[in-house]
Amino acid sequence: MPKLVVDPLPAGCVWSGFTPPNVDWCEEELCGWIVNPAGTWSNLAYVVFGLWMWHAARRSRDERLALFGPASIIVGVFSFTYHASYTYFLQFFDFVGMFVFCFVAVTRNAVRLHWIDESRQWRFFAVGVVSFSLLVPLMSETAIPIQTLVGLLIFGILAQEFAIWRRDRGSGAPPYRFYALALALLTLAALASLADVTRTWCDPGNHWLQGHAVWHVLSAASLCALFCFYARLPRASTP
């Protein structure tokens, strides 16, 4: 059971019998099946980009890209249900979705760094997602925000890519145009989400445009840009 840091929904609402999440975004909670409309519907961006990535991966017949599309769709579906419900129970699956996509990149980079070979990537991926998912209920009992886990994974992905860049610079390092675009979009997304949670940019009654909804759209575009980066890596770079 997480420590309550936000107010529960009023009695009589659809989701009022559930424990609320560990963060209260700016958008006003409605008493209905969809508690935060902007925060909910904006997750369709992950699904749309995910379907495009899935199609592009199938068309390219590059097995290294196979997980990107499904992972983005999982992020969108899990985040959609979480923001629709405003519950800790479904927030857990929101984190699972983010772990799934993060470990797609972590696993690809682990192969590129020769930490693992292709035959072990699925085990590496599964162990990583399960391990981080198990940390969510444990961290819920502490003062450390669960979102820290996602931050650690993003830092790990960047550290891996930096190590690859140092190894390959001057000897056929891949172009980083799409990687830079992914970082720029993710930075803008994080700033919008930060402005939301700190109430720097906050209109609770606006159920069309919210800072965290902007996070969803821009971070989904960032994931797509990251996919484009990996799609342009030479296949020979993976042993």
What is this structure's pTM? 0.90
**Mean pLDDT to the nearest integer, 160-165:** 93
Residue 12 included in any domain: no
pLDDT band per the 50, 70, 90 thresholds, residue 2: very low
**Mean pLDDT to the nearest integer, 178-206:** 95
Structure tokens at 67: 């997980």
Which CATH number goes with the domain that contains 109?
A: 1.20.1070.10
What does the pLDDT read at residue 5?
57
CB atoms within 10 A of CB 228: 18
Lowest mean pLDDT among 66-70, 139-143, 145-149: 139-143
Residue 26 included in any domain: no
Residue 96 included in any domain: yes
Q: Can you give 17-68 as a three-state secondary structure string?
A: CCCCCCCCCCCCCCCCCCCCHHHHHCCHHHHHHHHHHHHHHHHHCCHHHCCH
Residue 17 included in any domain: no
Residue at token pair 């992905």? 157
Most confident of the following: 2-6, 125-129, 135-139: 125-129
Residue 228 included in any domain: yes
Residue 22 included in any domain: no
Domain hosting residue 195, numbered range: 37-237
129, with CB counted inside 10 A (0-12, 13-18, 19+), is: buried
Instruction: Provide the number of structural domains found in the chain.
Output: 1
What does the pLDDT read at residue 199?
94
> Who's near 14: CB < 8 A, 6+ residues apart?
31, 32, 33
pLDDT tens digits along 15-69: 998 999 988 899 999 999 999 999 999 999 999 999 999 999 999 999 889 999 9
User: How is residue 199 annotated by DSSP?
Assistant: T
